């Protein structure tokens, strides 16, 4: 079982960035300036337990809020993606999972924050209570882990910030359908890693020529701070 430098058992959560190419996706891209402009957090390598803030009805982007996503829907068939495996401790995993589960249990209380997106563009905190946009949500649920490394409040974190910060944890980049078509058939986030290779159904990632797989993955520093120090709007990059 993988462990961190402190010796504590480790598991993983997955940060998933996507772009569908729809007009709404392109509108978000205009706000964030990021090529991959939607962020989600997943608790399994198959990306079946995956959550975000986005459209509740795939064909109606104006009806949005907290959702459990189905990336196997044909809506995502042409989507591009990047997937990052964060080897959190088991205690961190439980905290992140508990927070997401609690939010999902009361998901009707939460709304999508278009105002918050405007705040990112203006560099001003325009966040309202119980509202999130996708990367704000992902960053906020990681606040109580050693992987909160943004130096600013979660309401200013963009998909591009997630991509830049977690680049060394990237395991896949390419068509989302390419990843889902070869995803591991097990739920354990650690069982598909052997001899520093990502093994997919007995086939090494190096043999998959249509997309890019990156390995090996580093462990988190034992001295990493969960708080990241004071985070104020003046820290916005």
Q: How far apart are the first and last CA of the chain?
A: 37
54-74 as b/e: b if 16+ CB within 10 A: bbeebeebeebbbbebebbee
Residue 49: which CATH number?
3.90.1720
pLDDT of residue 28: 65
CA 213, CA 174: separation in Å to the nearest integer? 9
Q: What is the DSSP letter of 213?
A: -
**Lookup: tokens for 116:** 């918050």
CA 18, CA 130: separation in Å to the nearest integer? 24
pLDDT in tens, 60-94: 556 689 999 999 988 888 899 999 999 999 999 99
Per-residue pLDDT of the chain (237 residues; tens, 9 = 90+): 444 444 456 799 999 999 976 656 666 666 667 789 899 999 999 999 999 998 777 665 566 899 999 999 888 888 999 999 999 999 999 999 999 999 999 999 999 988 888 888 888 888 788 999 999 999 999 998 999 999 999 999 999 999 999 999 999 999 999 999 844 443 333 333 322 233 233 333 332 333 444 333 333 333 333 233 333 222 332
Is the peptide bond preceding residue 216 cis, with omega within 30 degrees of 0?
A: yes
Counting the structural domains of the chain, the total is 1
The answer to the question of residue 49 being in a domain is yes
pTM listed for this prediction? 0.71
pLDDT of residue 36: 92
The answer to the question of residue 131 being in a domain is yes
The answer to the question of residue 196 being in a domain is yes
**Lookup: tokens for 126:** 């325009």
């Amino acid at each position: 079982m993988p462990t961190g430098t402190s010796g504590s058992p480790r598991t993983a959560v997955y940060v998933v960035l996507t772009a569908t190419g729809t007009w709404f996706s392109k509108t978000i891209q205009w706000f964030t300036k990021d090529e991959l402009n939607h962020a989600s957090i997943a608790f399994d390598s198959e990306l079946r337990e995956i959550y975000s803030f986005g459209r509740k009805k795939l064909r109606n982007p104006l009806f949005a809020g907290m959702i459990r996503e189905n990336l196997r829907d044909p809506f995502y068939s042409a989507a591009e993606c990047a997937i990052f495996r964060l080897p959190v401790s088991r205690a961190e995993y439980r905290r992140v999972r508990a927070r997401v589960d609690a939010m999902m249990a009361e998901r009707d209380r939460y709304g999508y924050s278009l105002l918050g997106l405007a705040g990112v563009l203006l560099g001003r905190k325009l966040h309202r209570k119980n509202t999130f946009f996708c990367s704000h949500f992902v960053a906020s649920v990681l606040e109580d882990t050693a992987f909160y490394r943004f130096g600013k409040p979660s309401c200013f974190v963009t998909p591009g910030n997630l991509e830049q910060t977690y680049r060394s944890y990237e395991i896949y980049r390419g068509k989302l359908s390419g990843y889902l078509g070869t995803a591991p058939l097990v739920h354990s986030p650690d069982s598909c890693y052997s001899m520093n290779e990502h093994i997919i159904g007995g086939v090494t990632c190096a043999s998959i020529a249509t997309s890019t797989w990156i390995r090996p993955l580093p462990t988190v520093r034992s001295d990493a701070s969960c708080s990241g120090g004071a985070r104020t709007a003046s820290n916005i990059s």
